[in-house]
Amino acid sequence: MFTHVMIGSNDLDLSRRFYDATFAALGGQPGEMDERGRLIYRHDGGRLMITKPIDGKPATAANGGTIGISAASRAHVQAWHDAGTLNGGTSIETPPTLRPDGVFVAYLRDPDGNKLTARCQTTT
């Protein structure tokens, strides 16, 4: 359904450090800057794009918004969470946890305050 998700950042270098680390923990590749100065992460035909807002105003996090990221295993979710907290992110909600429905989930805010979750369906 989605081709990409675009979020704003006030510090692309800090965002790159955070997202490179968290996506590496999931087995992903580092981001690339395009000719317009946007940081782009690609996976399975989808893209996460990070940019300074084109209106010149400061980037702000979406109130009530969450970006969900699929992970292959509980170990990947935990590694994503650990990489995020070591690279400018903030742990939020509960610590990484197994929910009663069998979903293992973790939550972070990126350096600009965007709310992210990594989760896996497997309980292994």
Q: pLDDT digit string (tens) for 103-121? A: 999 999 999 999 999 999 8
Amino acid present at 120: C
Q: pLDDT digit string (tens) for 34-82? A: 999 999 999 878 899 999 999 999 999 888 889 999 999 999 999 999 9
What percent of the chain is predicted at pLDDT more than 70?
A: 98
How confident is the model at residue 45, as a pLDDT? 82
Q: Judge whether residue 2 has pLDDT over 80.
A: no
CA distances from 37 to 12, 53, 56, 112, 113 (A): 9, 11, 14, 17, 20
How confident is the model at residue 60, as a pLDDT? 92
